[in-house]
Amino acid sequence: MILDFLLSNFEILLFFAICFLVLGFILLFFFQSLKFKEEKDIAIEYVNDLNSFNKEIKEYLSLIGNFLEQQKNEIQKVSEKIVDIEREINRLAEIKGSEDVLTQAIEMAREGSSREEIKNKTGLREDEVEAIYTYYRNKI
12-50 pLDDT, tens digit each: 888 999 999 999 999 999 999 999 999 999 999 999 999
Q: What's the mean per-residue pLDDT of the chain? A: 87
Does position 139 have pLDDT exceeding 70, yes or no?
A: no
Rg of the chain over all Cα atoms, to the nearest angstrom:
52
- Spatial distance between the Cα atoms of 100 and 94, rounded to a whole number of angstroms: 10
- The CA-atom distances, in angstroms, between 121 and each of 12, 19, 115 are 133, 123, 10
60-85 pLDDT, tens digit each: 999 999 999 999 999 999 999 999 88
- Spatial distance between the Cα atoms of 75 and 56, rounded to a whole number of angstroms: 28
Output the pTM of the full model: 0.45
Q: Which helix (H) or strand (E) holds 39?
A: helix 10-111
